[in-house]
Amino acid sequence: MKRYLLLEDGTTYEGTGYGYEGETNGEIVFTTSMSGYLETITDPSYAGEILIFAFPEIANYPLNLEHMESSKVQVAGIITKDAHAIFSGGESGTGFNEFLKQNMVPAIDGIDTRSLVEKIRESGAIKGYIRNKNEFPDKFEDTMDLDLVSRVSIKKYKYYNSGHKKEILFIDVGTKNSLIKRLSETASLHIVPYNYDFFNIKFHYDAIFIPNGPGNPDHSSLEPLRAFIREKSSSMPVMGVCLGNQLIALSMGGKTEKMKYGHRGINHAVLIGNRVYITSHNHGYAVNGDSLKGTCMEICGTDINDGTVEMIKHRELPVFSVQFHPEAYPGPYDSTWFFNDIKTTLGEKI
Ligand SMILES: NC(=O)CC[C@H](N)C(=O)O
């Protein structure tokens, strides 16, 4: 079945449709990961985004549903060069095509993803539609302006007792399962929605953690959360990953900005101190380094290729966060020391 990718700049790409038969729209972004396709498409940070796999062969190994990073596929759509879409097998017995149908996510294959990625590298992330007809919509919606966190955040408080005495207030702005798993190796978790009644919390907790999540970190719906981080950071450890890192920077008087086309992939080199770590990335926004001047936060890690701020910490207090993904999934384990830092911050032995 023919399907079309329609871009805001007037370009049309024709391909073969697979997955769900409806249409979709979003910001078109690309990942350079060669593996971990299931972990990637189920990461809630991708809400509102149509994902191009820059690596040509995708879904060429079976789905193992245990590797899902949330309960469903979160990308708005998928663009591939050569997806092994009907490949079935593995524990689930479900092929990629069938899985995307069940998850109501449209995909398009046979696209010249190399030229598309080059276009985005030149002009920046672009809005687009995947449609069954070659007909441009009246308007290209800016999905990054939407309150995406409300779509993916947990709806009700949940206690995750991992047998550890220390307790973390884990604010779910769109977490990946692997982050919950990694943190639960250090503490029990009070997992709360992003819009929880933060100033009336009755239970005890020793630290706050804010994970990854979709959309613009400066969105107005996140202001009560930023105010809470601002207030609590003077009295207890606050740590974060990706969206969490951006929210901490904003809370402390810094600014964030939209990147030209973001970082999405699993081999981004980050310099921290005098060491380079190969890290997993998925971000379209970044902390503006200059905006931290005169604040209590300092930059302690940057991306080697473009200087993007990748780690910040408080000059005096135990408040620190990373833009990259130390939990990997998918990605290399170079930066798992981040979880040891959390452990020692909580007074636990490594
Ligand atoms: N993975 C994330 O947490 C992404 C954070 C934010 N939505 C961004 O794109 O930069």
CATH code, 11: 3.50.30.20
Tell whether 100 and 245 lie within a shared domain. no
Residue 187 pLDDT grade (very low, low, confident, very high; cuts 50, 70, 90): very high
Are residues 212 and 266 located together in one domain of the fold? Answer: yes
Residues 96, 164: Cα–Cα separation, whole Å: 38
Ligand 1 geometric centre to CA of 219 (Å): 12
Structural domain contains residue 26: yes
Quick one: 97 and 157 in the same domain? no
Place of tokens 């999934």: 329
d(CA 238, CA 248): 8
Residues of the chain above pLDDT 70, percent:
98
Q: In the Cβ-directed half-sphere of 125, how many Cα atoms lie within 13 Å?
A: 24
Annotated catalytic residue within 39, 49, 190, 242: 242
Query: Is residue 68 domain-shared with residue 126, that is, in the same domain?
Result: yes
List, as one string, the DSSP characters of 97-152: HHHHHHTT-EEEES--HHHHHHHHHHH--EEEEEESSS---S----GGGS-HHHHH
246 is in an annotated binding site: yes
Query: Is there a domain that residue 305 lies in?
Result: yes
240 lines ligand 1 (CB under 6 A): no
Whether the Cβ atoms of residue 207 and residue 239 lie closer than 8 Å to each other: yes
pLDDT given at position 94: 76
- The alpha carbon of 13 and the centre of ligand 1 are apart by a number of angstroms equal to 27
Distance from C-alpha of 152 to C-alpha of 149, rounded to nearest angstrom: 5
243 is in an annotated binding site: yes
Ligand 1 proximity of 170 Cβ (cutoff 6 Å)? no
| Residue 92 and residue 185 share a domain | no
Residue finishing a domain among 131, 164, 195: 131
| Known catalytic membership, residue 296 | no
In the DSSP assignment, the letter for residue 157 is -
Task: Answer yes or no: 327 catalytic.
Answer: yes
Of 131, 161, 191, the position where a domain reaches its end is: 131
Do 104 and 210 fall within a single domain? no
Domain for residue 89, yes or no?
A: yes
CATH at residue 180: 3.40.50.880
137 within domain boundaries: no
Which atom belonging to ligand 1 lies closest to the Cα atom of 214? Answer: 7
Q: What is the pLDDT of residues 209-231, one digit of tens each?
A: 999 999 999 999 999 999 999 99
Residue 44 CA, ligand 1 centroid: distance in Å = 9
Helix and strand numbers, DSSP H then E, in the chain: 8, 19
- The reply to whether the predicted model has a pTM over 0.90 is yes
Residue 143 belongs to some domain of the structure: no
Q: How confident is the model at residue 63 (pLDDT cuts 50, 70, 90)?
A: confident
Residue with token string 């809400």: 47
Do 124 and 174 belong together in one domain? no
Is 140 part of a structural domain of the chain? no
Residues 242 and 312 in one domain: yes
Q: Write out pLDDT tens, residues 105-148.
A: 999 999 999 999 999 999 999 999 999 999 999 999 999 999 99
CA atoms 273, 231, 254, 148: torsion sign: positive
Report the number of distinct structural domains present in the chain. 2
Residue 89 scores a pLDDT above 80 = no
142: in domain = no
Q: CA 349 → CA 180, 182, 205, 333, 342, distances in Å? A: 20, 16, 19, 20, 11
Residue 199 DSSP class? G
Whole domain around residue 16: which residue ranges? 2-131
**215 is known to lie in a ligand binding site:** yes
Q: Is the ipTM of this complex over 0.90?
A: yes
Do residue 117 and residue 164 come from a single domain? no
Q: Which protein residue's CA is at the shortest distance from atom 8 of ligand 1?
A: 283
pLDDT for 85: 75
- On whether both 88 and 211 belong to a single domain, the answer is no
Residue that finishes a domain, picked among 96, 131, 166: 131
Reported as type and span, the H/E element at residue 223 is helix 223-232
Q: Do residues 125 and 152 share a domain?
A: no
Query: Same structural domain for residues 184 and 319?
Result: yes
Is 86's pLDDT higher than 90?
no
Look at residue 13 and tell me if it is in a domain: yes
